[in-house]
Every structure is written in structure tokens, then in C-alpha cells.
Structure 1
Amino acid sequence: MTTTTSNFTAPAVSGGDTELADVGYTDPMKALRRAGLDVRPLPLAADDSAQGLRRAVGQREVPLLFHQLTDSWPARRTWQPEALRRSHGEREVTALMDLPGDGVLYPKDQSAYERTLPLSRFIDAMTSADGTSPCYLAYQRAAELFDTRDCDFAGLLGSRREQGSDTRVWIGSRGTRSMLHSDLKDNLFCQVSGHKTVTLLSWKDSKAAYPFCDNLVNSQVDVAHPDVARFPRLSHVTFYSGTVGPGDIVYIPRGWWHDIRARTASVSVNHWFGPPQSLSEYLALLVRLGPPYWRRTVSDFVRQGLLGRREETRFFFSPPSTGRRLYQALRTRNFNHDNDPST
């Protein structure tokens, strides 16, 4: 596969977006470089077409940025904030309001930030938030909110799209963050409106992501505030980071760690598809991580699996603990059972 890795420059803001450098946003690329870490621009696709995307998916070698690949989608018009206010403003939604502006974990359970309100009021909040108390209508199945014909994943992926696919919408203020985490399936992250920064780390470098002891797919590392003294393996890996704008797609192969944060108020849609990573791959990582992870996994297998005790959700839309996922895998043969997308 041919890619280019020339220096990436953030796109100019237009169409009423606020300035990219603003309150509540720290650029991960700059932060990682200040810490002395190796961070490079997102690899650019040599062929910004659906055919080029399908080739990348077939090879599953590296993540790639495709510029303006979705410019023809109706969603580029109908899912703009003001268009959504006109078409869906009276619809009630449950959003996360007054979120913390920093830190990897929420101070409180995610449910404490949930509020039900009309979409028009949420759009007012997202466009006026200064980034220190972000608000997010996130992880929403697109079909439950909008007409999914407005985003043509079938045209991009062809038959690959139907292999256990799941499409989600993310609408929020600047300062919203999906902290460094790993998904089990291939992912197309598509920017509809506004600008976000995507930062990536390879699955083969998972030990350097320092997963939480109770959750192998969530990282303790904040890429905007990297702590090399606490996480020394960061010095031995390569990150990729860049800003995506309207019409852009980032193909993220399954397993790749990714951090996504909003530079402006924005609307995004992502699409998970294809076969998931295997249970054996996660068990191999668990073995490499060592005894603290083994002990916590066994404990959660008993408490949250066998005994069915509830666990807190303090990492953004946190999947179940590794112990509970292993319990479900033994019962259903599906490591992704409780977190879906889409099994």
C-alpha cells in the first residue's frame, strides 16, 4: 500500500466555526512532542476514493486519512447543527452535560452527567460551551435519531459493510473527548461538521498504552498530558496524530488505540464493521501484562460475572470489565457481548 506522511497542517476554520486553538483544548501532537515522544502525522491515503478505502480495509495494514471522501453525502448538509435544529429540534434526547474538561476518568459515574432535553436546547448548549464543561450527545445509534440513508457506508464499503456493522452519531461541543481506547472491530470515523483531532497507537504497542487493570481496552494515558515518568514505555513507541475536518474519514483498523477530541463544536459519525478481534488476542495481551491484571480479571469474573454485581461507568462509555467480558465469552462465545457494536 502506498501512503504519504508529509507534515500535516490543521485545516483552516470556515463556515462559522470557532478558532481551532481555544479554551478547553490541548493539541495532542504538540503535547506528545513536548514530552519528547515520537509522534507523526496521520498517514494519508494515496487514493482518496471508495476503491482506495476498500483496498485499505482489505489489507488492514495501517490507519489512513481520506480527505473529503464524504462530500457527496446528504448528511454533510442535513446533519449540520442548524439543520438538525430545524428538522429534529423538538425531539428529546439524553445527553451528557457539564462534563469534566480534563482527566481520564469521570469523577462520578457517567449516569450523573445524563440529562434529557430537547435537541434544540442541546444544540444551544453545544455551540455556546467554552470547552471547560463540554456536553456530548454521543454513542447514539444513527438509525434511532436520523435517516441513515444520508450517510452511504454501503457505497464506501460494498459487501464488507454487512459483516456485523454498527453506525453511531457523536454531536458535541469543543472539548469533548473519547480518551485513548481500543475497539474490537474495524472503524470508519467520519467528520460531518467541525474539527476533531485523532491520535492513534498500534495494537502491537498495547503494553505502552497502559490499560487499566480491570479493562484491557481503556488506557490510563492522557495523550494531551503525557506522563513519561509514570508511563515510561511511551518513549519506545510511535503515535500518529492529526486534525480532521468536514468530509474527512479516518480508517482505524481493529485493535488500534485511538483518542478523539473536539477542537470545535462538531458532528461526527462512525461505522464499526467486519469480524472482531479474537478472544485469543486479548488473552495473549492479558498474559503479557502480568499478575496485577490476572488478579483483577479473576476478581471481576467472580463479582461482576458469577455474582452479577454492577460496575461503575467512569470512563467514557466504558465497556464491561475484562473479567465480565470473559464470563460472557464463556457463556455466549462472544467477548463483545455486553458492549455490542454490533456483536
Structure 2
Amino acid sequence: MTPIERQRAGRSSAGHEGAGASSGPPDELVPLLRAAGLTVRPIEHAAAADVGALRRRVAARSGPLVCSGLMEDWPARTGWNPADLAKRHGERRVTALLDLPATGVLFPQDQRGYERELSFGEFLDRMTAAGPVAPCYLAYQRAHEIFDPADYDIASLCPADGHGTDTRVWIGSAGTRSMLHSDLKDNFFCQVWGEKSVILLDWRDSRAVYPFPDNLVNSRIDLAEPDLGRFPRLRKAVLHHARLRPGDLLYIPRGWWHDVRAHTPSVSVNHWFGEPLGLREYLRLLGALGPAYWRATVRDFVTHGMLRRQEPTRFFFSPASTGKRLYDAVRTGDFSRSNDPSADA
């Protein structure tokens, strides 16, 4: 029996078995990872609400940082709870993801199969009632399309550098998951209401997360079920963990891999900013990953670039494949436009 199996057996005998999710509640993820022999370290927490310290960390890109107290003046901190949101915005029509899978890395069906249009009020009712077995998510929604930008003064925390920015909201039930993936820009992730856990890995550990051969920014590893026989390089990586509570801001440096899971119904807002990772970094990673990745890239360069065949969307908000992005780079000089949320802001 593996360490993870022994730990789960102990939980079951004590009457704490998860409701349908094989990995148990999200707050058990760190003990499971450590029981598997992985190194998990807490993310540094700033001692005080210090914008200067946050900006210095961004300038140095010396690793992630959790700050508290920087959001206390935001109207969102008191007004973005389900009851108030329903009163102010309940009639608005939204497209949300309903009855999502509770386990696995890829969606069993195309993401569009989970999309439903409903009122925001109806979604909030679904969100508060949903359990972790079939979570629901209003995710990757541009914040200004629902809320007054004065509610979330996140842009003032960022250095002005001339690069495109984008702000999104994430509103969902307990059990929602953004599986291990990498974004090309720096990220301020702000927890407004509810609680989430985040696991991070450095971009330099990208080989250890075993990206999909056709997509360099999504990992094949479910950290709730880390198969170290299949993914042995993960043993040598350092994982960084934080539990985010209302008022916490997490700085995620560009390229850092992150896995985000909700403990409770949750409202979050994030802001992408800064200079993106470029073609050179991705080509360096592609070269290190080997022939299987090269073949997938050539295939998708032809299929989804030259032949323009539509790509499936079974990742969580699927980015374009590596081959399609390389095709875009050849044609336009921009490898990351299709993966840059600020490109069409």
C-alpha cells in the first residue's frame, strides 16, 4: 500500500471519507503530497500590507508572495457576497459551467458541453447549493462586464510598464478546480470571499510537471493523484503552498505552474500584467521535452495552423496548441497572442 493509500484508509476508518471525490476535501492535498514524499513549502507571507514590498517582489521575480490588507478599501470586500451580488446583479444573463467533473485533468467532454446560460441569480443559487461532486463555475469572466471597476482597485497595485493587462473574476462552488497550468504573464490573484488553496511550481521545473505533448502550458499531473511511477521527475521539484482567505493577495510570477482548488463557495479576482514569456522560453522548453513533443507540434502546426481545423476544448479554458501558436508566430511574429488574455481586451 502506498503512503497515499494508507492515509486515505485511515481517514475512511475514522469516518472522514470525501463525498464522491476520490482525493478527499481540498485541504487534505498538502498532507497527501507530503505522504507521497514530495517537498511542499509554505509560500512566504508579507509581514504587513506593503505595496512597496509587493512591487519589489514583482521587479525581482524572486518567487511568489502572499500579502494581506491591500484589499481592505475595496467595495468588493464587503459587497461581493452571494446575497448582495444577487440583489445588485441577479437579473444579468451569464454563461456558466455546470455539473463539472470532480476528478481528472481533462474534461470528459468538450468544455462547451458544460456551458449553460442562466441568470446570475440562478447561478448563485446553484453555486451555494452545489457540492464538490458536481461543482459549478462562472470563470474567466472579464470583471468589468459584470462589476464596476471601482469595486476592485487591483490595477493600482501593479507597476506601469506599458504591457497589456486583463482582469477576470472567478465565482464558483466548493470543489472547483483550475488544474496545474502555467500563464505567460505575472498574476495578482485576490481572494475576495471564501477560501482556496494554491500549489505553485517554478517555471524552471516545467519538465517535472510533464506538460501535454500538444500543449506546453497544461500539466498531465493531477496533484490529488500524483502517480510518481508515471511522473518520476516530480519527486525532484519543490512545490509551494498557500491557503488563501478573504483579503489575501497572491503574487504568481509569470510562467509559474499553479493548481487552484476551492474549499468553500468562493469569489476571486485576478489581474494579469507585465511582459509575457516569449517564444525563446517556450522553444527552450520544447527542445528539452523531446521527440514526442516535437512530433505533436509539427502535427498541430499543419492541422490547426495550415489547415485551420478547429481544436477540441477539453482543457479548462483551452489555450491553442503549441503547434498552432508556433504557426501564429511564423505568420504574425507573436507566439502567445492566442494565449494572452489581454490581447483582445
Q: TM-score, normalised by structure 2?
A: 0.91
1:78 CA drift (Å): 2.3
1:32 CA drift (Å): 0.8
Does the aligned pair in 2 maintain the 1:28–1:199 contact within 8 Å?
A: no
- Please list every run of 5 or more consecutive structure 1 residues that lacks an aligned counterpart in the other structure: 1-20
Matched residue, 1:168: 168
Q: Which amino acid in structure 2 is aligned with residue 311 of structure 1?
A: E
Q: TM-score, normalised by structure 1?
A: 0.91
Matched residue, 2:80: 79
Say whether residues 1:91 and 2:92 are aligned partners: yes
Does the aligned pair in 1 maintain the 2:48–2:69 contact within 8 Å?
A: no
Q: Which amino acid in structure 1 is aligned with residue 221 of structure 2?
A: V
Q: Which moved more, 1:141-150 or 1:331-340?
A: 331-340
Aligned residues: 322
- Please list every run of 5 or more consecutive structure 2 residues that lacks an aligned counterpart in the other structure: 1-16
| 1:110-154 CA distance string (max 9 Å, x none) | 000000000011000110111100000000011111111211123
1:50 CA drift (Å): 1.3
Matched residue, 2:181: 181
1:158 CA drift (Å): 4.4
- Helix, strand or coil at the partner of 2:241: strand
**Distance in 2 separating the partners of 1:71 and 1:331:** 46
Does the aligned pair in 2 maintain the 1:50–1:155 contact within 8 Å?
A: no
Matched residue, 1:270: 270
Q: Which moved more, 1:150-159 or 1:297-306?
A: 150-159
**Distance in 2 separating the partners of 1:149 and 1:322:** 37
What RMSD over aligned residues (CA atoms) do the two structures have, in Å? 1.3
Matched residue, 2:326: 326
Q: Which moved more, 1:302-311 or 1:34-43?
A: 34-43
Does the aligned pair in 2 maintain the 1:28–1:241 contact within 8 Å?
A: no
**Distance in 2 separating the partners of 1:332 and 1:216:** 20
Matched residue, 1:248: 248
Matched residue, 1:295: 295
Q: Which moved more, 1:291-300 or 1:49-58?
A: 49-58
| 1:131-185 CA distance string (max 9 Å, x none) | 100000000011111111211123312424x521000000000000000000000
Q: Which moved more, 1:55-64 or 1:285-294?
A: 55-64
**Distance in 2 separating the partners of 1:148 and 1:326:** 35
Does the aligned pair in 2 maintain the 1:183–1:217 contact within 8 Å?
A: yes
Return structure 1 stretches of 4+ with deviation > 3 angstroms.
21-24
Say whether residues 1:136 and 2:137 are aligned partners: yes
Q: Which amino acid in structure 2 is aligned with residue 203 of structure 1?
A: W
Q: Which moved more, 1:275-284 or 1:21-30?
A: 21-30
Matched residue, 1:126: 127
1:47 CA drift (Å): 4.4
Fraction of identical pairs, as percent? 58
**Distance in 1 separating the partners of 2:209 and 2:61:** 21
- Helix, strand or coil at the partner of 2:269: strand
